[in-house]
Structure 1
Amino acid sequence: MTYLSRIRINPLRQQSRELLSNPQTMHSHVCAAIPATPDTERLLWRLDTDNPQRPHLIALTRSKPDWTHLVEAAGWPAADDGGHCDIADYTPLLAQLAIGREFTFRLTANPVQNMPRPLRNGDTAGAEDPKTRQRRSSVRTGHRTYAHQLNWLLKRTAGYGFQIPDARTDPGLSILPLDESTPAPDVRIIHRDRVSFNKKNRRQVVLHVATFQGRLQVTDTDLLARALLNGVGPAKAYGCGLLTLAPSRRPNG
């Protein structure tokens, strides 16, 4: 079974500020919510900060989680209204997937590309196995512009089992190289950020992150279910890759 959780974070608490600024620290707290070891199941999470005063952690786990530690450390454990965290069975949503059905979606991702790595002194091209040479001769770099990040997603939708329909109204995507006869896709980037932090080995990690929001249409239920459960793109341990759906407000057809 799979569970989708939504936890309220209090941004004014000291530990909350560390969690909100360091994806590695947040990842460790997400891992602590499940009884299984992190290497036995895929964990996906992201931060939704539409309201900076009420950020939420969204997490997808295969095991049923216990978020008590996170609520006590970074939430509102003494609040009277409850609602500190919501945990829902993910199975009903997966059962709704059908070819042609539309959903609204949100995805925080780390759009990247592989760039040639300059040869250093002493390197000899062509002296290694081709696959090894390819790994050593390229480096993964993040897309930094709105247009490149958006195109990164649009080029990959088929592989994730969906397509993005034309926008019903102009979403203001004139930044894309579309001619006047080509309708704009119904997706936009609602947040972009450069995230930098140090790992335990003191190596600095820099991520260029984009949050996409829009409308999708299912083209392959198996591929989409796999994307929902396993994530989209790299940096999944650091709050990227979680694709979430909600029923489209407008009926199909």
Structure 2
Amino acid sequence: MYLSRVQIDTNNRRKIKDLTHLGAYHNWVEQSFPNEISGHVRLRHLWRIDQLGGKQYLLVLSADKPDLEQLEEYGVPGTAASKDYDLFLQGLSLGETLNFRLTANPTHSVPQEGQRGRVYPHVTVRHQMEWLVQRAPEAGFRINESSAPAIVADGAKDVDKELNRLAFNLVSRDQPILRHKGMHVVRVRRVTYEGVLTITDLDKFKQTLTNGLGREKAYGMGLMTVIPVK
């Protein structure tokens, strides 16, 4: 697998004029794999938009290496790069403590009589935090405890004491536009988490890193990245 990154050329309005909704970013990612397009094979590509040091980056996790020239279509020339992700995965170990960053679409299903449950987004900070805590065991990790209180992007006050003890924050919460071709415009709940975790099941955790967590994975949600705690 490959983890790739390119700086988005936000200062070039002509270049990024089409990037007005999540579907446009999805198309950008897909066009970065011309061999898959020509071979009529579409693999799943996880991606997200990161804000780092006042700059925006597109981060892509894929089975195949993207065409870096295509990946720079809306990027700053010379900033696209890929690295072997399999080597990183092989270096992970059970019980290891890592810093994590995850952009996700936290949702829940409400039962419908005689039908499949209907999916709704979590709206409150507390429910969005609980969503990740509840999914952590099946995803192969636990969130560490911390003596410092949780910090949330909008300063919400509805976080209970148990959640406040955990070492993770909500660093951003928004509702970007998703426009499908020939369909109406919808807004998607997007939450970015940062914190500290410990690997409790190595195989499950690797699957989480490579397959993503939650819904709307094609539209910039689900990608978790980790780095060792210094």
Q: Which residue of 2 aligns with 1:76?
A: 76
Identity level (%): 31
- Counterpart-to-counterpart distance in 2, 1:108 and 1:183: 20
Q: Which residue of 1 aligns with 2:94?
A: 99
Between structures 1 and 2, the one with greater strand share: 2
CA shift in 2, pair 1:60/1:143, >3 Å: same
2:214/2:221 contact within 8 Å kept: yes
Q: Which residue of 1 aligns with 2:29?
A: 30
CA offset at residue 86 of structure 1? 1.9
CA shift in 2, pair 1:70/1:40, >3 Å: closer
Q: Which residue of 1 aligns with 2:217?
A: 236
Q: How many residues align?
A: 222
2:141/2:201 contact within 8 Å kept: yes
CA offset at residue 67 of structure 1? 2.5
Deviations 1:154-195 (A, max 9, x none): 11000100000101533447642226xx87110001000012
Segments of 5+ residues of structure 2 without an aligned counterpart are: none
Q: Which residue of 1 aligns with 2:123?
A: 144
For the pair shown, the structure with the greater C-alpha radius of gyration is: 1
1:157/1:164 contact within 8 Å kept: yes
Q: Which residue of 2 aligns with 1:245?
A: 226
Q: Which residue of 1 aligns with 2:85?
A: 90
1:110/1:233 contact within 8 Å kept: yes
Q: Which residue of 1 aligns with 2:2?
A: 3
**Within 5 Å, which residues of 2 pair with 1:47-126?**
47-52=49-54, 54-71=55-72, 73-77=73-77, 82=78, 84-116=79-111
RMSD: 2.1
Of 160, 185, 189 in structure 2, the residue corresponding to residue 177 of structure 1 is: 160
CA shift in 2, pair 1:51/1:116, >3 Å: farther
1:11/1:17 contact within 8 Å kept: no
CA offset at residue 196 of structure 1? 2.1
Structure 1 residue ranges, 4+ long, deviating more than 3 angstroms after superposition:
37-40, 168-175
2:71/2:80 contact within 8 Å kept: no
Q: Which residue of 1 aligns with 2:140?
A: 161
